[in-house]
Amino acid sequence: MAQLSGKVEGVFIASMPESMVSARTPQVQVTFEGFVGDRHAGMIMRTGGRNPRYPRGTEIRNSRQVSICSQEELEQIAANLSIPVVQSEWLGANLTLSGIPRLTLLPPSTRLYFESGVTLVVEAENLPCTHAGEIIQEHYPDVPDLAARFPKAAMHLRGVVAWVEKPGVIREGETVQVEIPKQIPYEL
């Protein structure tokens, strides 16, 4: 297993049920349900457009509790869109990490061991949608087509979603160790 480490640049909570935007906080309490106070917390979730296999509203186990972005990848998205900055809050990120190359491509079951004791497990790449692009657009009303350009500009850069393996507290500034499972290509 390859190992590497990073740093928590920011901790964020999306507390408004109707908005994906998150807000910075110095630290967060983490339970088996996710980040306390975040709209994505819960052991069970109802499916939406991301789960075409299920009728909308089906109850399934929530493996998308936490949204994790990379500081370096956010800067790359901004460069791709020719704008000064893309803030973590606009994408509804719960954590922004630095120092982990190609964070968005961390494979499923990658474990993130945080210094203060929390463990998060990567479920999947978070595919970029136009909705996040619309929020970026609101901050740059004079730049054309940001919302429509966002999905392509952010592909493989928008971070990952994860679930909580071990509860505790995550604080801004702490370190995180990354454990990547051995990848064996599956071929028929």
Contact residues: a second copy, CB under 8 A: 2, 4, 32, 43-44, 53-54, 58-61, 63, 101-102, 105-109, 111, 113, 119, 121, 123-124, 156, 163-166, 179-181, 183-188
Q: Which is nearer to a second copy, 15 or 175 (CB)?
A: 175
Q: Which is nearer to a second copy, 37 or 101 (CB)?
A: 101
Q: Is residue 94 classed as helix, strand or coil in its secondary structure?
A: coil
Per the CB < 8 A criterion, the answer to whether 24 and 38 are in contact is no
Query: Least distance (Å) from a second copy to the CB of residue 105?
Result: 5
Q: Which is nearer to a second copy, 46 or 131 (CB)?
A: 46
* Residue 183 per-residue DSSP state: P
Query: Least distance (Å) from a second copy to the CB of residue 162?
Result: 11
Per the CB < 8 A criterion, the answer to whether 7 and 174 are in contact is yes
Question: Token pair for residue 161?
Answer: 């979603």
Q: Where are the beta strands (DSSP E) in 14-146?
A: 23-25, 27-31, 34-35, 44-46, 59-61, 66-70, 95-98, 111-114, 119-125
Tell me whether residue 182 is exposed, middle or buried, using C-beta atoms within 10 angstroms of its C-beta: 0 to 12, 13 to 18, 19 or more: exposed
Q: Which is nearer to a second copy, 139 or 156 (CB)?
A: 156
Query: Least distance (Å) from a second copy to the CB of residue 24?
Result: 26
Query: Least distance (Å) from a second copy to the CB of residue 11?
Result: 20
Q: Is residue 97 classed as helix, strand or coil in its secondary structure?
A: strand
Q: Which is nearer to a second copy, 90 or 163 (CB)?
A: 163
DSSP 115-141: TTS-EEEEEEE----HHHHHHHHHH-T
Query: Least distance (Å) from a second copy to the CB of residue 5?
Result: 12
